Amino acid sequence: MPRRSILSSAERDGLLTLPDAKDELIRLYTFNDADLAIIQQHRGPANRLGFAVHLCYMRHPGILLAVDAEPFAPLLRIVAAQIKVPVDAWQKYGQRAETRREHLLELQSVFGFWTFATRDYRPSVLSLNELAWRTDKGIVLATALVDGLRRQHVLLPTASVIERVCAEVITRANRRIHAALTESLTIQHCQRLDELLQRKEGSKTTRLGWLRQSASKPNSRHMREHIQRLKAWQALDLPAGVERQVHQNRLLKIAREGGQMTPADLAKFEPQRRYATLVALAIEGTATITDEIIDLHDRIIGKLFAAAKNKHQQQFQSSGKAINDKVRLYARIGRALLDAKQSGGDPFAAIEAVMPWEDFTASVAEAQQLAQPEGFDFLHRIGESYATLRRYAPEFLDVLKLRAAPAAKGILDAIEVLRTMNADNARAVPADAPTAFIKPRWAKLVLSDAGIDRRYYELCALSELKNALRSGDVWVQGSRQFKDFEEYLVPADKFGALKQASELPLAVATDVDQYLQGRLLLLEQQLAIVNRMAAADELPDAIITASGLKITPLDATVPEAAQALIDHAATLLPHVKITELLMEALAQQREGRRRQVQATTADCRGLAYFEIRFLRRPLVARSPLPPISCAGFRP
């Protein structure tokens, strides 16, 4: 059976492709003085050109130019221009095969190149172990291997050898990952994982298939079904921290591949791979179900608020005529009272002149019924849907493992009170229940003269929990979208070890004083350059006059020919509401927090300190012109 290819034909060709951009050609194929001195030692323009071209091919892409192959035309022109020989000289090169062989041996001897051999195979595999722990993408591994061989002046092997190295690295990494996911499993864990591949009682689907189903509608019935799925995932009771044993990218890849297979296919795997795949599915399934449960709660709360608002508006609209009649009636009564006061008449008689006293009394009672709550708020109608939340709220609060930041501690305390009340079947809210989280809008409904209203207290707590989850003040263990922000960072013990060993993988100095000194020195150098150019009136697109600095506005960078295409593409895009766009941006912001974390706490503190010093200590440049302050410049 042929080996499975991990590189496409385009990727395989791309590894050995020469760049066509002029700046890349100049960067890769510019000779230094030593190179030119060695090249000039050869007699004749053809020999010098051929020797230089072979040197370029050995450096990048790191191969030998075939005997009958023509060099890349842009490369040939750049090389010929540097050594000052005509491009046509290439046609006279290599008329003797011995000349080409001698040049290749000389290049390997002088510049330290050597051909990839059997002795280089194992070191190449070992050099990719760390990268393969993070990804199994063939092109990423192949690119890293090729770059490493070029740095070592090793001429690249064939694409099949490169692919074979990457395939072995991936196989080794997969075995390590499977071992890491399964080494802490007990016999009971394996039995529970095997049960996932069996049929669910009274159903044609397996337990794994049932657990991977998604809720279709945001209602209490589907919410309770989803909660049962989460409880089933949690019942596996996998070893704590097993998800941290492997890189997140590889864990997601294993879970994604396992999700595309049938239970029958998974059962055919050898035990270690099967259990590792099921563990990855369980970890990702738990996170997915947790996020979906929170999303269902969010949508249910949103539906209740929307229904209450609609009822409020519909009632007001249906009562519009009656309210208008009452306003007109009381306007007549008010006018009668004003006239009575002006003429000194009896106000009660004035009212009875408009309508009988009994009708007036009845109209007051009708007005009280038509009157809306103070503030014209619809929140009181949320209580009519309390039964919907009660169908799932006890299990919802019990199944989620919530943690909170200090700003949301009151909400978490209220959730604990509700959990205790649900466990004890208590009806009344304790008098000492936390109320600091209750906003003024809810306070008039929750806090009454008789005490705390249980119904509105629970509704308020669940609504505020939804808001706290959105803001990140409350997080959920086992969730992917609502997890603790600290989990995106390097673990504290690992960070401490790396910092002590001075091995932090940062592009800046980890010593704050050294970092600040370097940045301030760079800033002074840049300001000195700016002042020197300003003194010579050579600042690009800027003019210094007696009144100050005038900067020329930037021109549009979009070509006129492209503007028509931009306008046409804009008409093809769907029109979305701004609220939908903001919600999607918020969701992507949560999902991408890990990629946004690029500095440790110490580095952030150092950067903040630098900004303070930067803004408070202007550097006076030595120039006859007025000194330019640091403010407004960034190194």
pLDDT in tens, 372-402: 555 556 788 888 888 999 999 999 999 999 9
Q: Describe the chain by its helix, strand, coil percentages, rounded to 5.
A: 65, 5, 30
With b for 16 or more beta-carbon neighbours within 10 A and e for fewer, the 47-79 pattern comes to bbbbbbbbbbbbbbbbebbeeeeebbeebbebb
Coil, helix or strand at residue 598: coil
Q: Is the pTM of this model over 0.85?
A: no
Nearest-angstrom CA–CA distance, 273 and 557: 53
Out of 47-61, 164-178, 372-386, 398-412, least confident range: 372-386
Chain segment 308-365, per-residue pLDDT in tens: 888 877 776 666 667 677 777 778 888 888 888 888 888 888 777 888 888 778 877 7
The interaxial angle of helices 271-318 and 454-471, nearest 10 deg, is 120
pLDDT band of residue 1 (cuts 50, 70, 90) is: very low
Total residue length of the chain: 635
Q: Which two tokens stand for residue 511?
A: 């010593």
Please state the domain count of the chain: 3
Are 29 and 159 members of one domain?
yes
Are 474 and 518 members of one domain?
no
Whether 635 is covered by a domain: the verdict is no
Are 436 and 541 members of one domain?
no
- Across the range 251-276, mean pLDDT stands at 92
Q: Which residue type occupies 243?
A: E
pLDDT at residue 164 greater than cutoff 90: yes
Average per-residue pLDDT for the chain:
84
- Across the range 487-492, mean pLDDT stands at 78
Nearest-angstrom CA–CA distance, 79 and 52: 7
- Across the range 396-415, mean pLDDT stands at 92
Which pLDDT does position 633 carry in this prediction? Answer: 36
List beta partners, residue 154: 114
With b for 16 or more beta-carbon neighbours within 10 A and e for fewer, the 412-440 pattern comes to bbbbebbeebbeeeeeebeeebbbebbee
Element (H, E) at 474: strand 474-476
pLDDT at residue 86 greater than cutoff 90: yes
Which pLDDT does position 490 carry in this prediction? Answer: 77
Which pLDDT does position 629 carry in this prediction? Answer: 40
Whether 483 is covered by a domain: the verdict is yes
Are 108 and 73 members of one domain?
yes
Whether 539 is covered by a domain: the verdict is yes
Of 83-97, 373-387, 390-404, 543-557, where does the model show the most confidence? 390-404
Whether 99 is covered by a domain: the verdict is yes
Which has the higher per-residue pLDDT, 624 or 106? Answer: 106
Whether 503 is covered by a domain: the verdict is no
Which pLDDT does position 374 carry in this prediction? Answer: 57
pLDDT at residue 205 greater than cutoff 80: yes
Are 467 and 518 members of one domain?
no
pLDDT band of residue 620 (cuts 50, 70, 90) is: very low
- Across the range 132-143, mean pLDDT stands at 92
pLDDT at residue 534 greater than cutoff 90: no
- Across the range 598-602, mean pLDDT stands at 40
Which pLDDT does position 375 carry in this prediction? Answer: 52
Which pLDDT does position 39 carry in this prediction? Answer: 92
Are 412 and 448 members of one domain?
yes
Whether 127 is covered by a domain: the verdict is yes
pLDDT at residue 265 greater than cutoff 80: yes
Residue of 221, 139, 229, 237 lying closest to 185 (CA atoms)? 237
Give the CA diameter of the chain: 132
Coil, helix or strand at residue 158: coil
- Within 324-461, strands assigned E span 402-404, 447-448, 451-452
Q: Which two tokens stand for residue 270?
A: 């050898």
Which pLDDT does position 412 carry in this prediction? Answer: 93
pLDDT at residue 616 greater than cutoff 80: no
Among 154, 177, 200, identify where a domain stops.
177
Whether 607 is covered by a domain: the verdict is yes
pLDDT band of residue 622 (cuts 50, 70, 90) is: very low
Out of 6-20, 133-147, 311-325, 504-518, least confident range: 311-325
Nearest-angstrom CA–CA distance, 369 and 383: 19
Are 463 and 586 members of one domain?
no
Which pLDDT does position 370 carry in this prediction? Answer: 63
pLDDT at residue 492 greater than cutoff 70: yes
List beta partners, residue 545: 548
What range defines the domain where residue 580 resides? Answer: 512-553+562-616
- Percent of the chain clearing pLDDT 90 (strictly above): 46
Are 46 and 126 members of one domain?
yes
pLDDT at residue 621 greater than cutoff 70: no
Which has the higher per-residue pLDDT, 144 or 96? Answer: 144
Nearest-angstrom CA–CA distance, 535 and 528: 11
Which pLDDT does position 174 carry in this prediction? Answer: 93
Q: Parallel, antiparallel, or unpaired: how do β-strands 402-404 and 548-551 relate?
A: unpaired
Which pLDDT does position 236 carry in this prediction? Answer: 93
Out of 205-219, 462-476, 540-554, least confident range: 540-554
Whether 575 is covered by a domain: the verdict is yes
Which pLDDT does position 80 carry in this prediction? Answer: 93
Out of 55-69, 391-405, 596-610, least confident range: 596-610
Are 165 and 105 members of one domain?
yes
Are 101 and 146 members of one domain?
yes
Are 442 and 540 members of one domain?
no
Which pLDDT does position 626 carry in this prediction? Answer: 41
Report the phi/psi class of residue 270: left, alpha or beta, with left for phi > 0 and alpha for psi in -120 to 50.
beta
Coil, helix or strand at residue 473: coil
Are 437 and 516 members of one domain?
no
Which pLDDT does position 4 carry in this prediction? Answer: 64
Q: What is the dihedral of CA 240, 245, 247, 249, to 10 degrees?
A: -50
Nearest-angstrom CA–CA distance, 300 and 320: 30
Nearest-angstrom CA–CA distance, 153 and 62: 8
